[in-house]
Amino acid sequence: MVKWLSKGFWATVARIILRNRIIILTIIAAITVVMGMQWKYMRFTYTEANLLPDEHPVNQEYNKFLEVFGEEGNLIILAVKDQRLFTPENFNQWNKLSKKLNAFPEIDMVVSTENLHELVKDTIKQEFTLKPLILSNINSQAAIDSIKTKLFEQLPFYESLLFNKETQTLRTAVYMDKEIVNTSVRKDFIYNDLLPLIDSFEKETGLDVRASGMPYIRTLNSQNIIDEIGIFIAAALGITSLIFFFFFRSVRATLISMLVVTIGVMWAFGILGLLKYEITVLTALIPPLIIVIGIPNCIFLINKYQQEVKKHGNQAKSLQRVISKVGNATLLTNATTAAGFATFIITESKLLKEFGIVASLNILSIFVLSLLIIPIVYSFMALPKYKHLKHLNKKWISAFVGWMEKTVREHRIAVYITTICLLVASIIGIYQVKISGSLIEDMPKSAAFFDDIKFFEKEFDGIMPLEIMIDTERKNGVMRLPNLRKMDELEQLIIETPELSRPISIVSLAKYSKQAFYNGNPEYYQLPTTQENNFILSYAKKSSENSDMLSNFVDSNGQTARITTFMKDIGTDRMEEIEDDLFAKIQKIFPDENYHVSMTGKALLFTKGTKYLVKNLILSLALAIFLISLLMAYMFRSFRMILISLVPNILPLLITAGMMGFLGIPLKPSTILVFSIAFGISVDDTIHFLAKYRQELQTHNWKIRRSVYAALKETGVSMFYTSIVLFFGFSVFMISSFGGTKALGGLVSVTLLFAMLSNLILLPSLLLSLERNIANKETLKEPNIDILSEEE
């Protein structure tokens, strides 16, 4: 069989590279300039990720809601919990702040004490009218006290919307224009207008203003993502360059490596711009990820170059061998890593699909850059000096390799017992893993807006909208008294659920209308009776103000109503319990044959999306294992060898999953990524070790023990170097303020550390124990791919 990517192929590649150095560098420079020009097309996300595909039923229900009632995540809320607010000076300033906000074109409506209207009965015109609560500036404490009494004791319609009666926390509801709430205009308004106004108010009054709402949270959260990209890149460059220098003790080798990964980062941003993808919390990880993955390429190539120089001192021959001997192995290891990321493309999630495409393209790009730049740059330099080669003989590395060899040689039973114990413990831990689907769980806990989220959860039972849409399936069916009573019954169930806020709907307006009909007496804040309904409805029909308020709760045909509530940050399990409980009761109140009731909103959408994504990512991990197994099958042409190679790579994944269970780290989009990423990277060590092992078998006439120990000595150093770089490189993500990114960095680091030990201790132990069953000329046929040349 003709071998793919044979030794002759790579020799040809080496000649082309070394004979066309200037042309290649010019092409790289030109591509880099073009990529740099694409940066202007980079876009930052202005919405939270939609994890569900467009055709998913939950997504379709949400889109249907948007068609009827428009964007539901356009509310910004401001609040003050301080009795000092209720002084004439401060109260006037609070109203002035609301008036200023209402003047901005980006704002659709502001509901606050400044423009609060009381629904009153006009007996002459026999209609309801809206009477302003405040007519002018307040000049006395007595006027303030009167307003407080009116607000907290006589206007239950505005309770939870504008105030907390028990704590007397006052808030303002700012509704952004639905057309611009998911655009860059939102960011400009919040940073250039809203925040300066809040700061000015706080300085003038000495009061602490709490701010929240989905547009506000999204904007500040997106800015945190942007700010962290630079921090990650700087930290990744810093830590990897320090480790690289510690290993090689060569400034020029370190600078060459930094040059390679810096160009790789520029290309990463360029590809994001070229594809017009948004920068999300995931795609923001790609540039530092390229640094972390690119440095091991540099280690293999530079280490090989220095080994060749030390062996014969011929620069041209050394550079040629670097490309021809290490190129194939580096290509395959990068291909397996890229395959791990590329499996995300099969998910129906746009977020993960874009992440998989950009990450896999950039991993292959950094391989090409490493293979081209390192040999070419070294070709213009003098040969490395003796001090640059001293690291090849470090005693502590030899001691580490010696310890591994001794463990494999003398303590294999202990290795297997430890492995079994870890496996059992991991399985126990896996059963304790929970799935999480919270919109704010991964947000920076140290950020001021996160404290504000908790404040609003305590004062107003949450800020994440949950919508219930009720289709009565008949025109003007919503206003029928039996349907209003059914909705009121459902609202009572919502009120009894501690994780949900007091709902607001057409029911609230109907109750308010009855209160107004009885001259504002709060004791009549209830649904009208059958006898009262006709009188009250006749007033309501004549009232244009009432019609405006009605449009927020009922569609234009009077057929569909919405009940809006807000939910606390709760886990997926509790959210599903609430959903199941409400739906069971909804079906009793609103039979399916007469009504269509759906529950939607960003919070529910994200919860459903998380569960959907976890299932898809488990499939993508299985696909990654399958694809990499196929690649290894083609490489080694041995089914037994595939099974042996999978064991040391799947075990670390199980250990990490078990740790997540014991440490209480939930399964969510950010943490499920760990497994595909870690598997794609860790299998590289297996490829290097088995390739060297097979070569040693031929060299030592199929003497298994000598071959295993020889392979361990030869590959142990490089595997140790790259694993340490990867460990500390991924640890960089632990400095993130985002919980998901922090967990991703820590878990990948730990997984790769376990994978290194597994490949250097468990894999050789298995090869020695199984001996003749897996290592003979029949089971280890001539490979389809020459990973290492026979003379190496």
pLDDT in tens, 648-666: 888 888 898 898 888 888 8
Between CA 366 and CA 362 the distance in angstroms is: 6
In a domain, 241, yes or no: yes
Who contacts 418 (Cβ-Cβ below 8 Å, separation ≥6)?
Answer: none
Q: Is the pTM of this model over 0.85?
A: no
Find the largest Cα–Cα distance for the chain: 110
Task: Single out the residue of 777, 34, 157, 28 nearest to residue 505, CA to CA.
Answer: 157
Query: Tokens 């560098």 identify what position?
Result: 25
Give percent of the chain above pLDDT 70: 89
Higher pLDDT, 57 or 486: 486
Q: 562: helix, coil or strand?
A: strand
In a domain, 792, yes or no: yes
Task: Single out the residue of 518, 542, 543 nearest to residue 528, CA to CA.
Answer: 518
pLDDT of 791:
42
Between CA 133 and CA 135 the distance in angstroms is: 7
pLDDT of 403:
82
In a domain, 134, yes or no: no
Q: Residues 35-48: pLDDT tens digits?
A: 989 888 887 766 66
Q: What does the pLDDT average to over 600-614? A: 77
Q: Residues 526-547: pLDDT tens digits?
A: 888 887 777 776 666 555 555 5
Q: 193: helix, coil or strand?
A: helix
Q: What letter does residue 595 receive in the DSSP assignment? A: -
Query: Mind giving me the DSSP string for 533-550?
Result: HHHHHHHHHH-HHHHHHH
Between CA 237 and CA 225 the distance in angstroms is: 18
Task: Single out the residue of 696, 656, 725 nearest to residue 787, CA to CA.
Answer: 696
In a domain, 741, yes or no: yes
- Same domain, yes or no, for 415 and 305? no
- Same domain, yes or no, for 772 and 753? yes
Residue 288 carries which side chain, given as an amino acid letter? P
pLDDT of 206:
92
- Same domain, yes or no, for 657 and 786? yes
- Same domain, yes or no, for 309 and 402? no
Q: Residues 280-299: pLDDT tens digits?
A: 777 888 888 888 888 888 88
Task: Single out the residue of 747, 618, 639, 631 nearest to residue 336, CA to CA.
Answer: 631
Who contacts 105 (Cβ-Cβ below 8 Å, separation ≥6)?
Answer: 177
Domain with 231 in it: what CATH number? Answer: 1.20.1640.10
Task: Single out the residue of 762, 503, 493, 669 nearest to residue 51, CA to CA.
Answer: 669
- Same domain, yes or no, for 300 and 420? no
- Same domain, yes or no, for 289 and 409? no
In a domain, 781, yes or no: yes
Higher pLDDT, 78 or 601: 78
Backbone angles phi, psi at 418, to 5 degrees: -60, -40
- Same domain, yes or no, for 366 and 404? no
CB 742 within 8 A of CB 748: no
Helix (H) or strand (E) holding 516: helix 506-517
Between CA 58 and CA 63 the distance in angstroms is: 9
Between CA 682 and CA 722 the distance in angstroms is: 10
CB 404 within 8 A of CB 760: yes
Helix (H) or strand (E) holding 127: strand 127-132
Q: Residues 206-232: pLDDT tens digits?
A: 999 999 888 888 888 777 877 888 888
Between CA 758 and CA 682 the distance in angstroms is: 10
C-beta neighbour count of 530 within 10 angstroms: 8
Most confident by average pLDDT, 128-137, 359-368, 567-576: 359-368
- Same domain, yes or no, for 653 and 752? yes
- Same domain, yes or no, for 382 and 257? yes
Domain that holds residue 708: 397-431+637-792
- Same domain, yes or no, for 727 and 771? yes
Structure confidence at residue 787 as a pLDDT band (50, 70, 90)? very low
The pLDDT of residue 272 is above 70: yes
CB 198 within 8 A of CB 81: no
Helix (H) or strand (E) holding 169: strand 169-176
In a domain, 299, yes or no: yes
Q: Residues 384-411: pLDDT tens digits?
A: 666 656 655 566 667 777 788 888 888 8
Between CA 528 and CA 512 the distance in angstroms is: 10
pLDDT of 1:
37
- Same domain, yes or no, for 309 and 401? no
What's the mean pLDDT when you consider all of the chain? 81
pLDDT of 27:
94
Enumerate the β-bridge partners of residue 130: 119
Q: What is the CA radius of gyration of the chain?
A: 33
Q: Residues 117-144: pLDDT tens digits?
A: 888 887 777 777 888 888 777 888 888 8
pLDDT of 24:
93
Distance of CA 26 to the CA centre of its chain: 37
Overall domain count for the chain? 2
CB 162 within 8 A of CB 147: no
C-beta neighbour count of 255 within 10 angstroms: 14
Higher pLDDT, 777 or 572: 572
Helix (H) or strand (E) holding 674: helix 669-699
Give percent of the chain above pLDDT 90: 13
CB 61 within 8 A of CB 600: yes
In a domain, 660, yes or no: yes
pLDDT of 548:
54
Tokens at residue 643, please? 């099974």
- Same domain, yes or no, for 362 and 252? yes
In a domain, 676, yes or no: yes
Between CA 352 and CA 345 the distance in angstroms is: 7
CB 363 within 8 A of CB 681: no
pLDDT of 2:
40
